[in-house]
Amino acid sequence: MLPFTYAVRNLFRDPSRLLQTVGGSALVVLLLTAAVAFNEGMDRVLSASGSPKNVMLVGKGSEESIERSEVPLAAESAAKTSIPGLASQLNTPAVSGEIIFQAPITPPSGESKQGQMRGVLPVALLVHPEVVLLEGHFPGPGEVMVGKLAPRKLGLAEEALALGEMLVIGEQEFRISGRFAAPGTVLESEFWLDRNDLATLMQRDSLSAVYVRLSDGEPEDVEVFAFQRNDLELSSIREDIYYDKLSRFYGPIKGMTWLTAALVAAGALFGGINTLYAAFASRIREMATLQAIGYTRGALLVSLIQESLLATLTGTLLAMVAALLLLEGRTIAFSMGAFELSLSPAVVLTGLVTGALLGTVGTLPPAIRTLAPALPKALRSN
Amino acid sequence: MTPFIDINQLSKTYQKGKTSVTPLEKLSLSVPKGEFLALMGPSGSGKTTLLNLVAGIDTPTTGQLIIDGQDIAGLSRAALAKWRSRHVGYIFQLYHLVPILSAFENVELPLLLSKMSRRERKAKVESALELVGLAERSGHRPSELSGGQEQRVAIARAIVHNPGLLVADEPTGDLDRESADNILRLLRELSREHEKTIVMVTHDPKAAAAADRCLHLEKGQLVDEPEPATFVA
C-alpha cells in the first residue's frame, strides 16, 4: 500500500482543485443536512402534536381541516355527560371546546402577519398537558398568551412579545398575559385567547372542535357518541391520526425539499467528478509508473479514494460547522405553526454518509479511468 | 550456463481497430546474467515492446519468456505486479519521479511493497542514493534537481530493492552529453560491479556503445549484431 502521507500531499498538489472539492462537498452535505433537518423537524412537530389519548370532535366533512370545522356549543356539554372513560381532574372532565382561527396579528413593532389563534378556557390545559406556562398567567378577557415560538412565526425575536405588550388582533387590542411552551408541538407557535373573546372577535357562535381526553375510555366510545348524536353533525378523529393525515398533506413540500437538495447535490457531484477527471487525468503516467514499480491497481485505487475522502470529509466537517451555526435551533414557520431545526444524530449521520459517499462513489469513475489504460500506453502518456 | 533472460519464439500482436499489428514476431534471444544489452532500431521496430515484455509490464501473445528461471509469460496481472516489485527496476527516459515526494521518498517507493522496518528502508535508500552520488540531495524534490540528478534518483529507485534486472527506456534521451555519459557510466558500473542484467533501448549510438552487446531490431525481428562502438567514459 502507498503511505497515507502520499494521499495527504496529493491534496495540496492543486490548491484550486482542493478548494473546489472541499467547497463542493461542503455545499452538497450542507444542503442534504438542511433537507433532512427540515423534513425531520416537520415530521417531529406533527407527530408530537397529536396524542393517541385525545379524540377530536369536528364538524362532519371537516376531518381534514379543523379551521373549516363548525361544532355547536352544545356538543361540549353533551360530550362531558355522554362519553365514558374521560380523563378528569378534581371532578372536571377533560373536555375542551376550542375555536381555532388564522387571523392577522399586529405586534407592537412590526407589520401585520397571519398567526394561529386558539380560543380556550382553562380546561384546555387538561387536554393539552404538554402546555407549560413559562411566565405570567392564563389569558382572561382582553388578554392573550403567547407560545414560545409564536414570535418567530411573526418574524420577531422571542423577547419582542414580552409580558404586558399589546397585540392587535383583528381590530382589537390584547395584552400579553403569559408565555407558554409546548415542546415539539404546533401549539408552541400559537396565540391563546379567552374563547369568548375570540368568538366575539370572529363573530361566531360555534366551536372549531371539542377535544376529549380519555382515561380508560376507547376512541370507539367517542365515535359511538358522534354517531348517536346525529343532530350535532359530528365526526370523531384521534388527534394523532389527524396530524398524521396533515403530515401526508405536507408530503409534496417535503418531496420538493428532497428534489431541490438532490438536484443541487447532483450538480455539485457531477462538477466534483469532472474536477477529479481533470485532476486524475494529469496523473495517468504517475499511476502507471507506480504500477511498473509493483503497486497493484487496487492499492492505487485505495490511495486515490483516501485522497478524495480527505477532501470530502473536510468539506463535510465544514458543512457540519456551518449547519451548527446556521441551522441548529433555527425556527421554520409553516402554515400549521413552526418547528425548530435540529442537528439530530440522524441528520449528522446523513451528512457523514453523504461526505463518505462523495469521496468513494464520486471518485470511482475518474479513478478507474485513470487506472484502466494498458501500462505500456499509460507510461507514454503526457 | 543458464541464461538470465531466455526468450523463445516470442510474439506480440495488438488489435488496433479492425487490423492487428504485430510489433514483435517469433523473436528468440538469450542474455547472460550481468550483461548490459542495448536494443536499437527505428521507430516501430518493436524494441520498446520487447523491453516492456522483459520488464513484465506487458504480456506476450505467444512464446516463452523466462527471466531468472521463471516463465513470466503466463503470469496474471497481479502476479506480474508482485514479480516486478521483486525482480525488476525500470528506468524511464523522462525519469517519472513523483513530483510531490522528495528524492528519498521516491527511492523508498519500491521498498514500501515489502515488509521492512523503517530503519532498514532508511539504510537501503541512503545506500542507493550514495551509489548514484546524490546522498546530500535526498531531501530535495524532483523540481529542485537537474535532469541528470533526476535520472540518478530514478536509477536509485530502480536498484534500491536489489532487483536482478534493470530495464531502461532511452535513459539518456532527455539529457545533455555530460549527464548522459555519467548515467551510462553508472549503468556500466551496476552491470559490472553489481552483476545487474541491464536491457536498454536507445537511439543514441554512443549510449549503445556503453553496452556489452547491441542488438538491432527491424519490423519485430533481430537483424544483426554489430560490434558496439567503444564507449569513452
Q: Does the beta-carbon distance from B81 to A291 stay under 8 Å?
A: yes
Q: Does the beta-carbon distance from B109 to A290 stay under 8 Å?
A: yes
Residues 64-103 of B with CB under 8 A from A: 77-78, 81-82, 84-86, 90, 92, 96, 98-101
- Total number of domains constituting chain B: 1
Q: Which residue of B has its CA nearest to A2?
A: B112
Cα(A301)–Cα(A137) distance, integer angstroms: 67
| Residues of A in Cβ contact (< 8 Å) with B48 | 376
Q: Which domain holds residue B29?
A: 5-222
Q: Give the A:B interface size as CB pairs under 8 Å.
A: 60
Residue reference for cell 388578554 = A143
How far is residue A80 from each of residues A84, A125, A182, A256, B22, measured CA to CA in Å?
Answer: 9, 16, 25, 44, 98
Å from A270 to nearest chain B CA? 27
The string of pLDDT tens digits covering residues A325-380 is: 999 888 887 777 778 888 999 999 999 999 999 899 889 999 999 999 999 999 98
pLDDT of residue B230: 60
pLDDT of residue B15: 84
In a domain, B231, yes or no: no
In a domain, B230, yes or no: no
Q: Does the beta-carbon distance from B92 to A379 stay under 8 Å?
A: yes
B185 touches chain A (CB under 8 A): no
Enter the ipTM. 0.91
| Residues of A in Cβ contact (< 8 Å) with B75 | none
Q: What angle do CA A343, A349, A355 make, to 5 degrees?
A: 110
The string of pLDDT tens digits covering residues A169-205 is: 888 899 999 999 998 888 998 999 999 999 999 888 9
Q: Closest Cα partner for B51 from B75, B22, B77, B23?
A: B23
Residue of A291, A293, A375 to mutate when probing chain B, most B C-beta within 10 A: A293
Å from A268 to nearest chain B CA? 28
In a domain, B124, yes or no: yes
pLDDT in tens, chain B (233 residues): 679 999 999 999 988 888 888 999 999 999 999 999 999 999 889 999 999 999 999 999 999 999 999 999 989 988 999 999 999 999 999 999 999 999 999 999 999 999 899 999 999 999 999 999 999 999 999 999 999 999 999 999 999 999 999 999 999 988 899 999 999 999 999 999 999 999 999 999 999 999 999 999 998 888 865 555 565 55
Are B44 and B201 within 8 A, CB to CB?
A: no
Q: Does the beta-carbon distance from A289 to B96 stay under 8 Å?
A: yes
Q: Does the beta-carbon distance from A294 to B82 stay under 8 Å?
A: yes
| Residues of B in Cβ contact (< 8 Å) with A376 | 48-49, 52, 57-58
Cα(A197)–Cα(A177) distance, integer angstroms: 14
The CATH number for B67's domain is 3.40.50.300
Phi and psi angles of residue B196, each rounded to the nearest 5 degrees, phi first? -85, 135
Å from A318 to nearest chain B CA? 26
Q: Does the beta-carbon distance from A294 to B110 stay under 8 Å?
A: yes
pLDDT of residue A276: 83
How far is residue A53 from each of residues A222, A240, A243, A246, A337, measured CA to CA in Å?
Answer: 11, 9, 13, 18, 22
Buried b / exposed e across A146-169, counting CB within 10 Å, b at 16+? bbbbbbbbbebeeebbeeebebeb
In a domain, B233, yes or no: no
Are A192 and A150 within 8 A, CB to CB?
A: no
Rounded to an integer, the average pLDDT of A252-280 is 84
Q: Does the beta-carbon distance from A289 to B98 stay under 8 Å?
A: yes
Handedness of CA A347, A312, A375, B87 (dihedral sign): negative
pLDDT of residue B228: 54
In a domain, B229, yes or no: no
Q: Which residue of B has its CA nearest to A292?
A: B57
